[in-house]
Structure 1
Amino acid sequence: MLAATAAALATLVVAAAAVAQQDAGQKPHAAEGPVWTGAWGAAVQRPVEGSEDWGPNWSRQGFADQSVRQVVRVATGGSTLRIRLSNAYGTKPLRITAATVGRSAGEAQVWPGTARKLTFNGAQGATIAPGGDIASDARALSTSPLEKLTVTLYFADRTGPATFHRFTTATSYRASGRHLTDADGGDAFTASTGAWYFLSGVEVSGKASPRRGTVVAFGDSLMDGTGAPPGTDTRFTDKLAERIAADRRPLGVVNAGISGNRILNDSPCYGDKATDRFRRDVLDRDDVRSVIIHLGGNDIGAAKMGDPCMGSAPQVSADQIINAHKELIRAAHARGIKAVGATILPMKGARFPVYSRQGEKTRAAVNHWIRTSGAYDSVLDVDRALANPTAPALPRPGYVHPDGLHPNEAGSHAIASAVNLDAL
């Protein structure tokens, strides 16, 4: 298993280096077209059933003669935009019949007159091969930092199971039939879930977004936003985007977190292991300047959790986690991306089985390495931002969700405040 993991990680680094070399050869031509900055993003996952904890979703059943309206908040603005759609886990070609983008007027509503039809290579629709993705053509729509947009997709044909992002703090809406430009979505969009479908990115370009790059937050539930109430935009990445916008830095922020994700092992419900998805979710995005990495907590706690949705849950060592972090750093550096290491959050106060004495020793060893090794370009000390000053293995009272582990709004604010913006 270790040999296979090492081979896979080596392939990741080689692939990142190849992409960097290819990009270097293309730089003289890049100025001829728009330079795209990631204003919003999500890491995609394979379809899974809904649950009591995660709520219902439509990923297994997919869509047929239905419109799906999804609401996203962009971190930075521009004069033009495009969207990215993914069929990463599709088993057959995915037909997008038509798509629109507009300004959100709350819930499923679109501000009248703002809906814009999107095209793909000049056509109103597109077909995405299994395992593939696609970007729409550039569309003129002036956007501002932190505003919300709606992306509406219409599927005339049956999609089959849907590539999606399982946990969000937003709401997506579904209507029967073609309802791409309905401003008052209440009449048609009568079904809703807390997941995103096929949508993996919104990118902006233009004078309002000069080439400053994208920050990707990559990792587990801390990045994904577990603990943030629906509709509140209080995830760590939301707070970071607000800091960046207030400081008038034209950086985009993309959230590539997956709740339950691990750095060493796949799971049926919590995504491919981080070393396998790093290229798709970080390296293959446009104009990435830096990546913030928070991983290892689920690897440490999986054996204790007894969660069948986690799949294989071997006990892991600090050295295994550290070596995987090193491979991610090398892959980022091969692409010219700064790597910011985030220490693993306090785990002892969790109100579900994740903490153990041995696991705490492993967490402490990984955090010590992140802080002191110099392997990362800079450090975001999540552990110290959230820790109780008098009992550091526990979170600070008032900084965590009732589950005792994930940050609430105050905790997310504390973590975002600890980010060195100059390091991004």
Structure 2
Amino acid sequence: MSLSTGRILPVLTALCLLAPAVPASAATTGHAGPGSWSTAWSAAHHHPVPGNEWDGPNWSVPGFADQSVRQVVRVSAAGSLIRIRLSNRYGGQPLRLTGATIGRPTSGAEVRPGTLRPVTFDLRRSTTVPVGAETTSDPVLLPVRALEAVTVTLYFAGPAAPATFHQDGLTNTYRAEGDHRFDHRAAAFAGETSQSWYHLAGVDVAGSPRTGGTVVTFGDSQTDGYGSTPGANNRYPDQLAERLVATGRPLAVANAGIGGNKLLADSPCYGERGVTRFRRDALGLAGVRVAVVLMGINDIGGGGWPDFGCGASPVVTAGQLIDGHRALIRAARAQGVTIIGVTMPPMKHADNYDTPANERVRDEVNRWIRTGGEYDAVVDLDRVLADPADPDALRPAYDEGDHLHLNDTGATAAAAAVAAQIR
């Protein structure tokens, strides 16, 4: 028996939809090979917070009611199958999703006609995500190439508030009144944008022999991409993905950075402490093989600040931070994941961060990362990014302007240094 081309696609789609969804907690990790699921894009979520003058407005506190949310993300690896992960980890009630679609964008909120596919969950178009949980969709037949963008549209018929989200998306998210899941046009989404991600926790790919697992970059705003050009995919993890593709290394890259995050202290604004969320946001991703850790600068720089509503900032010692790093190393080793330590970049002249006491802590932790021999490999960003004329300061060409964060050029240098340690 033979099938015409017009009949093959519906049959394959049906077969894909019959494949069971695999929860993120049950995803293959540490031993991914060709054809396995790999996380090709991710966002580490945190509590909903009101918008502010630094980060701009967001929709996390009011959430969504009879609204469609359209999010465009770039996947870092190829696959013939794709699935999405949704989170209600910080919701106040069960999250009722009426339905979702995925397709290929053209520009902005517009989707290429003919590419929109329904996304199902246990073969149903709607799903309910319990408070504190995530869910994974069924596989969708939508072949993607490495570094290609996909558009995910979520529709919430009833109230869905507050929204678990990631504040510093540096990418336009679009909102429209009513159900526009299958509307490929951008007109309905005109005028309502935010630069945060909502409920979308990850995009996984499978079915390509060219994709053999995931590198997850774990950290704070320096990983999250603050200082890079919005909408340009110039964060250091983005540029790391580009380098791996260009050099033929078949690994996806996932970003688990949260701006303002600390290794040792929780924050209602900037996420759970790194030692807590590492198992979920890094080791819990599909196909993770390598974890790259750049953390601690906010524990140091924020130590002793009063609580402005985002949690206490205790003063930390180098020994406490080293113990935190050791906890991450133990967790990664237990799962068979290679873990790479990254020294903290210079912070001289950065407001509130640059004090003699803080510099001593940073130097001591960096010395341990560099020479302690406990990480599987080390990326010495402290030296890579330093100003040759003043090694405690960022090289001016890499400085976003606040003497702490990297611009696009600095992110390029960081990506090159990390890529050199990934085998």
What CA distance in whole angstroms lies between the structure 1 residues aligned with 2:182 and 2:349?
A: 47
Compared CA separation, residues 37 and 409, structure 1 to 2 (3 A): same
How far does residue 207 in structure 1 lie from its aligned partner after superposition? 2.4
How far does residue 381 in structure 1 lie from its aligned partner after superposition? 1.3
Amino acid at match of 1:78: G
Amino acid at match of 1:371: R
Aligned to 2:19: none
Within a 5 Å distance, the mapping from 1:73-222 to structure 2 comes to: 73-210=74-211, 212-222=212-222
Amino acid at match of 2:281: D
Compared CA separation, residues 365 and 152, structure 1 to 2 (3 A): same
Q: Which runs of 5+ in 1 are unaligned?
A: 1-18
State whether residues 304 and 355 of structure 1, in contact with CA within 8 Å, keep that contact through their aligned partners in structure 2. no
Aligned to 1:366: 365
What CA distance in whole angstroms lies between the structure 2 residues aligned with 1:264 and 1:381?
A: 22
Residue 377 of structure 2 is aligned to residue 378 of structure 1 = yes
How far does residue 325 in structure 1 lie from its aligned partner after superposition? 0.2
| TM-score when normalising by structure 1 | 0.90
| TM-score when normalising by structure 2 | 0.91
Compared CA separation, residues 218 and 309, structure 1 to 2 (3 A): farther
What CA distance in whole angstroms lies between the structure 1 residues aligned with 2:332 and 2:256?
A: 15
Aligned to 1:388: 387
What CA distance in whole angstroms lies between the structure 2 residues aligned with 1:157 and 1:145?
A: 35
How far does residue 421 in structure 1 lie from its aligned partner after superposition? 4.4
How far does residue 189 in structure 1 lie from its aligned partner after superposition? 4.3
Percent identity between the two aligned chains: 47
How far does residue 366 in structure 1 lie from its aligned partner after superposition? 0.3
Amino acid at match of 1:207: S
How far does residue 188 in structure 1 lie from its aligned partner after superposition? 3.7
Aligned to 1:355: 354
> How many equivalent residue pairs?
399
What CA distance in whole angstroms lies between the structure 2 residues aligned with 1:311 and 1:376?
A: 30
Q: Which moved more, 1:275-284 or 1:255-264?
A: 275-284
State the 4+ residue runs in structure 1 displaced beyond 2 angstroms.
186-190, 207-210, 303-307, 420-424
How far does residue 184 in structure 1 lie from its aligned partner after superposition? 1.6
RMSD of aligned Cα (Å): 2.1
Amino acid at match of 2:239: K
State whether residues 377 and 421 of structure 2, in contact with CA within 8 Å, keep that contact through their aligned partners in structure 1. no
What CA distance in whole angstroms lies between the structure 2 residues aligned with 1:375 and 1:52?
A: 41
State whether residues 101 and 149 of structure 1, in contact with CA within 8 Å, keep that contact through their aligned partners in structure 2. yes
Aligned to 2:22: none
State whether residues 283 and 332 of structure 2, in contact with CA within 8 Å, keep that contact through their aligned partners in structure 1. yes
Amino acid at match of 2:130: A
What CA distance in whole angstroms lies between the structure 1 residues aligned with 2:307 and 2:235?
A: 24
How far does residue 279 in structure 1 lie from its aligned partner after superposition? 1.3
Amino acid at match of 1:242: E
Query: Any idea what the Cα deviations from partners look like across 1:367-414, whole Å, max 9, x if unmatched?
Result: 000010111000111111210012110000111101221011110000
Aligned to 2:343: 343
What CA distance in whole angstroms lies between the structure 1 residues aligned with 2:309 and 2:377?
A: 33
Q: Which runs of 5+ in 2 are unaligned?
A: 1-24
How far does residue 303 in structure 1 lie from its aligned partner after superposition? 2.8
What CA distance in whole angstroms lies between the structure 1 residues aligned with 2:66 and 2:175?
A: 11
Aligned to 1:316: 316
Amino acid at match of 1:400: D
Aligned to 2:412: 413
- What SS does the aligned partner of 2:176 have? strand
Amino acid at match of 2:61: R
What CA distance in whole angstroms lies between the structure 2 residues aligned with 1:348 and 1:72?
A: 34
State whether residues 379 and 421 of structure 2, in contact with CA within 8 Å, keep that contact through their aligned partners in structure 1. no
Compared CA separation, residues 251 and 53, structure 1 to 2 (3 A): same
Aligned to 1:7: none
- What SS does the aligned partner of 1:418 have? helix
Aligned to 1:303: 303
Amino acid at match of 1:101: I
Amino acid at match of 2:60: S
Amino acid at match of 1:412: A
Aligned to 1:332: 332
How far does residue 219 in structure 1 lie from its aligned partner after superposition? 0.7
How far does residue 304 in structure 1 lie from its aligned partner after superposition? 6.1
Amino acid at match of 2:213: G
- What SS does the aligned partner of 1:398 have? helix
State whether residues 79 and 208 of structure 2, in contact with CA within 8 Å, keep that contact through their aligned partners in structure 1. yes
